Chains A and B, each alone.
Chain A
Amino acid sequence: MVDVTPADAVPPAEVAEVELYHPHSWWTKYVFSQDAKVIAVQYSATATAIGLVALVLSWLMRLQLGFPGTFDFITPEAYYQFITMHGMIMVIYLLTALFLGGFGNYLIPLMVGARDMVFPYVNMLSYWVYLAAVLVLVSSFFAPGGPTGAGWTLYPPQAIMTGTPGGQDWGIILMLTSLILFIIGFTMGGLNYVVTVLQGRTRGMTLMRLPLTVWGIFTATVMALLAFPALFVACVMMLLDRALGTSFFMPAIVEMGQQLQHNGGSPILFQHLFWFFGHPEVYIVALPAFGIVSDLISTHARKNIFGYRMMVWAIIAIGALSFVVWAHHMYVSGMHPYFGFFFATTTLIIAIPTAIKVYNWVLTLWRGDIHLTIPMLFALAFIVTFVNGGLTGLFLGNVVVDVPLSDTMFVVAHFHMVMGVAPILVIFGAIYHWYPKVTGRMLDETLGRFHFWVTFLGAYLIFFPMHYLGLMGIPRRYAELTDMTIMTESAHHLNSFISIMAFIVGFAQMVFLFNLIWSIRHGREAGGNPWRATTLEWQTPQTPPAHGNFGKELPIVYRWAYDYSVPGAKEDFIPQNVPGNFGLSKEPA
């Protein structure tokens, strides 16, 4: 431990103790638990389970794309169902739920020095509603007609018509119901995350002393609370269109020679509502990743984060800006040229705060004491992947470039790089980083390094070639690409190569899952603070943290979260709850 100078210890003012709910039985302790840490594990496990389904779906798609015509059971309808469910699950049920429900629940109370979330009962409900949403989603696989195949954007009118799988069956209804449930459940959780950061902070934990992880999750949650209602409205209205025959989104339309009863609705209205949610959603996933990666880099490079204030301001700026860029997803839907100009400009402006963040990560690494631990490897991989995906975003933000590329594999490559692979790499890094706190044991190092290299290189080999396919004009969303003049021999080979890489990367995830389960019992004992980190979650009296997190007394915070390698201090890190002036002080440490 570092030296403690009692002279600096400021007597704490009273911190109001919260009334903690104390579980009495196994059921209320582990199943219907109100403890944020248990809820976090529940969220993570559910999200991982449904994410595995999406992973298998991506394999099935790659089977079809890489080896067209070989697998009879993958009909065009089935392909569309795979594509839809893969996208929807990955974006909403995996990434959003894991970052906010999983990491948010675990880290916010611990990092701000609270005993639990401020509304634990609502927090518990949040998980169970989320689980219901997942179960409704899964049930659509077994419904007559199968799940919806409308694409993850669910654009009307096709989403609720006969030609689309699930359009006139149960698929779309279950999908919309599941989304509505998810949004209700998320709102319950989101209220907790926001208000806990506002009101649950322990003494001395000012906003500018919060770890960037908390800033990222906090801002993302605020955005999600304001953006998800748009999806909610869109879902309710489409559900009415489908079930009760209203015409919110459905224009007058002739289907198979028959005039449908719909009249005059506006599909563009749906697109506005959807993307008003859909674009902030990108940052809802990205901002927690930004925050977490900042902490990983700082901790494992043993150096304070470069430009903390800029990092905070950039997070806020990105959050605010992301609400005025949504229509860049709709360039091909047609719009007034001035609107296109406006949305292209706002889109490009977001690159400024984002670039600030990237520079700050790199400058944090500069002359740091870099430990190439597995979390650090994943953090570095994130920077590389994110820069790649971000740069292609600059291409696609421009109307003239977007219009020809919009329906090609280039877009698939772009969004997988920037909001698929990059955040997932952070999730992996974060799991390797915090697993010792959650379980008390380290994940296996060898398996971890294998997992990292295969995942990082493999994901790059999957998505980087896709840019070239896109530039060749290979369209996305096509179930069968054989008889087209643009599908050259080399494009076919590339597609097969991508598919094989996808299986290899998928296999590496199985190794990771094995590691997760195996290490619970057989991993090396971690101790309370294996990474020698400063933030409060590593300073708990027990590991894993017990109910109530901090034992008898809540910690008092005396410093920011990034006091690494402070000159004059005995150790190369000073936890946030250690009083005393080091380095720049008048008194000797």
Chain B
Amino acid sequence: MSVILVFLVVVAGFAGWWLSHQRLTARPWLEQGMAGDFVGFDRSALPTAKIGLGVFLAVVGCLFSLFASAYFMRMGLSDWQPLPLPRLLWLNTGVLVLSSVALQCAVVAARRGQMDMVRLGLATAGLTALAFLVGQLMAWRQLTEDGYLLASNPANSFFYLITGMHGLHILGGLVGLGRTSIGAWNGARPERQRLSVELCAMYWHFLLFVWLAIFALLAGWAATFIDICQRLLT
């Protein structure tokens, strides 16, 4: 359970930092009738939707940390046989990076008000994300053809489970991206447009980060890394 605890420490750090800016040591019973004196303590200047997405990403992060925790615990048991990762995953990683970059370009374009570039960025991001999903399915097929079935070894089970869960999140993201694209083509209000492109980009970058972590986990680098850390500590 170490991964999830580390994750929670990070979340607690954020929460603590935020709380430390909220005058938790105030004496509210002595502070009557001074509504004007609390500028900055009412709400954050960030758009509400961004904060909402941030909270949601914390939940998603929690979910994948728990999968990683379970992975490490199960890995320690004797019947674990790591499976060879298909080369295709490298290509998929590249495609997903491309997708993130395209969305980042869309964000920059949206800030400058270049709608053509926004549309181009959104379309590229959508297509590359779809390509990533297709690539993941092909990797699955390649593995099953090579005899690495879901139930034949826990390492395989975890591989399919975690990549599948990540794929579902990308799929959900594509729904959001689709809605943003519809807005981009139908000419939604520019500030609204910019916000929703930014939200998509935020989600995309986070899922890219999650994917890189998953890749490191499944390839065994994460375990090696932890091993090295442990040796350094002892």
Q: Contact residues of A with B, CB < 8 Å?
A: 8, 10-13, 118-119, 187, 190-191, 194-195, 198-209, 222, 225-226, 229-230, 232-233, 236-237, 240, 244-248, 261, 263-266, 269, 272-273, 276, 304, 308-309, 312-313, 316, 320, 323-324, 556-560, 562-563, 579-582, 584-585
Q: Which of B1, B49, B58, B150 contacts A276 (CB 8 A)?
A: B1
1/0 per residue B18-38: CB within 8 Å of A? 010011111111111111111
Does more than half of chain B's interface fall in helix, strand or loop, or is it mixed?
Answer: helix
**What residues of chain B lie closer than 8 Å to A320, measured between beta carbons?**
12
**What residues of chain B lie closer than 8 Å to A225, measured between beta carbons?**
55, 58-59, 62
**What residues of chain A lie closer than 8 Å to B38, measured between beta carbons?**
204, 206
Given contacts A191-B55, A225-B59, A246-B154, contact A266 B77 (CB under 8 A): yes
Indicate if B11 sits at the interface (CB-CB under 8 A): yes
Minimum CB–CB distance for B5 against chain A, Å: 8
**What residues of chain B lie closer than 8 Å to A198, measured between beta carbons?**
43-44, 51
Cα A557 to Cα B55 in complex, Å, equals 27
**What residues of chain B lie closer than 8 Å to A584, measured between beta carbons?**
30, 32
* Cβ A203 vs Cβ B29 within 8 A: no
Minimum CB–CB distance for B55 against chain A, Å: 5
| Chain B positions 48-92 with a Cβ under 8 Å from a chain A Cβ | 48-49, 51-52, 55-56, 58-59, 62-63, 66-67, 70, 73-74, 77-80
Q: Which of B15, B32, B58, B66 has the most CB of A within 10 A?
A: B32
Across the A-B interface, the 6 shortest Cβ-Cβ residue pairs? A204-B35, A264-B79, A560-B28, A10-B36, A246-B157, A229-B63
Q: Which of A263, A316, A579 contacts B33 (CB 8 A)?
A: A579
Total CB contacts across the A-B interface at under 8 A: 170
* Cβ B42 vs Cβ A206 within 8 A: yes
**What residues of chain B lie closer than 8 Å to A308, measured between beta carbons?**
28-29
Chain A residue with the shortest CB-CB distance to B47: A199
**What residues of chain B lie closer than 8 Å to A557, measured between beta carbons?**
35
Minimum CB–CB distance for B218 against chain A, Å: 16
* Cβ B67 vs Cβ A233 within 8 A: yes
* Cβ B19 vs Cβ A316 within 8 A: yes
Minimum CB–CB distance for A228 against chain B, Å: 8
Indicate if B232 sits at the interface (CB-CB under 8 A): no
* Cβ A195 vs Cβ B62 within 8 A: no
Query: Besides the contacts A247-B151, A248-B154, what 20 more A-B pairs have beta carbons closer than 8 Å?
Result: A10-B34, A10-B35, A13-B36, A118-B52, A191-B52, A191-B55, A195-B52, A203-B42, A206-B22, A207-B41, A226-B58, A240-B150, A244-B151, A245-B151, A264-B78, A308-B29, A313-B24, A320-B12, A323-B8, A560-B28
**What residues of chain B lie closer than 8 Å to A206, measured between beta carbons?**
22-23, 26, 28, 38, 41-42
Indicate if B4 sits at the interface (CB-CB under 8 A): yes
**What residues of chain A lie closer than 8 Å to B4, measured between beta carbons?**
230, 276
17 A-B residue pairings within 8 Å (CB atoms): A10-B33, A119-B49, A194-B55, A203-B35, A207-B41, A208-B24, A209-B28, A226-B8, A229-B59, A246-B151, A247-B151, A261-B151, A263-B79, A266-B73, A308-B29, A309-B25, A563-B29
Cα A198 to Cα B48 in complex, Å, equals 9
* Cβ B48 vs Cβ A199 within 8 A: yes
Given contacts A229-B62, A237-B70, contact A304 B79 (CB under 8 A): no
Cα A195 to Cα B41 in complex, Å, equals 15
* Cβ B59 vs Cβ A581 within 8 A: no
* Cβ B48 vs Cβ A560 within 8 A: no
Indicate if B161 sits at the interface (CB-CB under 8 A): yes
**What residues of chain B lie closer than 8 Å to A312, measured between beta carbons?**
24
* Cβ A560 vs Cβ B33 within 8 A: no
**What residues of chain B lie closer than 8 Å to A579, measured between beta carbons?**
33, 35
Q: Which of B27, B39, B58, B154 contacts A265 (CB 8 A)?
A: B154
Chain B residue with the shortest CB-CB distance to A270: B70
Q: Which of B28, B59, B154 has the most CB of A within 10 A?
A: B28
1/0 per residue B98-122: CB within 8 Å of A? 0000000000000000000000000
Chain B residue with the shortest CB-CB distance to A119: B52
Given contacts A207-B41, A208-B28, A209-B28, contact A248 B70 (CB under 8 A): yes
Cα A204 to Cα B43 in complex, Å, equals 10
